[in-house]
Amino acid sequence: MQYNIKDKVVLITGATGGIGAASARELYNFGANLVLTDLSQSSLDQLASEFESHRVMTKVMDVTNWDSIREVKELTITKFGKLDIVFANAGISWKNSAHTILSCQEEEFETILEVDLMGVWRTIKTTLPEIIKSKGQVIVTSSIYAYTNGMCNAPYAVSKAGIEMFTRSLGAEIIGKGASASVLYPGWITTPLTKNVFGGDPLTTKMRELGFPGFLKKPIPPEKVANALVKGILKRKPRITIPYRWIPIQWFRGIFGNLSDLYLSKHKTLQKLLTDLEVR
Ligand SMILES: NC(=O)c1ccc[n+]([C@@H]2O[C@H](COP(=O)([O-])OP(=O)(O)OC[C@H]3O[C@@H](n4cnc5c(N)ncnc54)[C@H](O)[C@@H]3O)[C@@H](O)[C@H]2O)c1
């Protein structure tokens, strides 16, 4: 039976970013009430102004901070009386430019894990009792980097692989309670997160172009992710992959993973660019 989104209460982290905001709009159009959270109140206010005020709540929430997540959960119950869906979507990558494991700063590596891995754990752990109570859904934004070689993007790929397994494990644990958990796997999406590898930084732009075959390196707009997300929620799909061209790669990820490890290690130009990146 199809899950009905109308009148469901959805908490979104990273709600004012590219994928978060597009998803908020799509879920709202399907009748959901929104709890929008992110780091900046003014950005949240701007997004919320698009919606009827009785159907939306905004609150600054940092996913690295337990107290801030607990406060949002309490406020959600006070305003809406329940929480049906938690969309753990907040995520970051390198602040300015990409680094290798050798060249990165220890602190930046760990900050990415704090947000992308531990932030998801904290968001879900805090809200899970409410999700189970409403037989609702957990959706976690992982990435194709859950199974694609994370060269020059290691803390991000480590986190996305980690939250993929976290969500799969959770799904098996809560399905018997009537709730479900889904992994969202976006490919390349045109949002602020990817501006460096799409022209912002010529070196990493070139690396992306060389590192991925033509049909896999093209970006799609966040609205397509939002559309796939809603379709996935309606069917409680355990995996939501967009663009669809990544689905066969995902099925045969063992083989493709080995081949791409080999390709990256043998590609002379890519290996040269790696050294350029480390010394600049
Ligand atoms: N853009 C892509 O190509 C792509 C591909 C796969 C997965 N993703 C994932 O999609 C999710 C959304 O990313 P996006 O592409 O919309 O990027 P984005 O930069 O537009 O949005 C990310 C949002 O997360 C928020 N955020 C950052 N740190 C936070 C924290 N500590 N607490 C709460 N919020 C925080 C930011 O303020 C921002 O609004 C991320 O998890 C990202 O890793 C993106």
pLDDT at 220: 97
| CA nearest ligand 1 atom 21, residue | 17
Q: Residue for token digits 């409680």?
A: 236
In a domain? residue 68: yes
Q: Which two tokens stand for residue 208?
A: 């992306």
In a domain? residue 53: yes
pLDDT at 151: 96
In a domain? residue 277: no
The string of pLDDT tens digits covering residues 144-155 is 999 999 999 999
The string of pLDDT tens digits covering residues 80-108 is 999 999 999 999 999 988 999 999 999 99
- Mean of pLDDT over the chain: 97
Q: Which two tokens stand for residue 227?
A: 């559309």
Helices (H), 99-236: 106-113, 119-133, 154-174, 202-211, 214-217, 222-235
Q: Is the pLDDT of residue 214 over 90?
A: no
pLDDT at 46: 98
Buried b (16+ CB within 10 A) or exposed e, 98-114: bbeeeebeeeebebbeb
Q: Compute, in angstroms, the gap from residue 18 CA to the centroid of ligand 1.
A: 7
**What is the best residue among 13, 19, 144 to mutate for testing ligand 1's pocket, by most ligand atoms within 8 Å of CB?**
19
Residue 48 beta carbon below 6 angstroms from any ligand 1 atom: no
Neighbour-count burial of 267, counting CB atoms closer than 10 A to its CB (0-12 exposed, 13-18 middle, 19+ buried): middle
Interatomic CA distance for residues 8 and 46, integer angstroms: 22
Q: Containing domain of residue 51, as a range?
A: 9-195+215-252
In a domain? residue 204: no
Q: Is the pLDDT of residue 215 over 90?
A: no
H/E element, 185: strand 180-186
The percentage of residues in the chain with a pLDDT greater than 70, rounded to a whole number, is 100
The string of pLDDT tens digits covering residues 66-79 is 999 999 999 999 99
Interatomic CA distance for residues 151 and 43, integer angstroms: 32
CATH number of the domain encompassing residue 60:
3.40.50.720
In a domain? residue 219: yes
Q: Is the pLDDT of residue 271 over 90?
A: yes
In a domain? residue 210: no
In a domain? residue 259: no
The string of pLDDT tens digits covering residues 232-265 is 999 999 999 999 999 999 999 999 999 999 999 9
The string of pLDDT tens digits covering residues 105-120 is 999 999 999 999 999 9
Look at the chain and report how many structural domains it folds into: 1
Interatomic CA distance for residues 173 and 177, integer angstroms: 8
Residue 194 beta carbon below 6 angstroms from any ligand 1 atom: yes
In a domain? residue 233: yes
| CA nearest ligand 1 atom 32, residue | 62
pLDDT at 1: 84
Q: Compute, in angstroms, the gap from residue 141 CA to the centroid of ligand 1.
A: 9
Q: Which two tokens stand for residue 63?
A: 């996913």
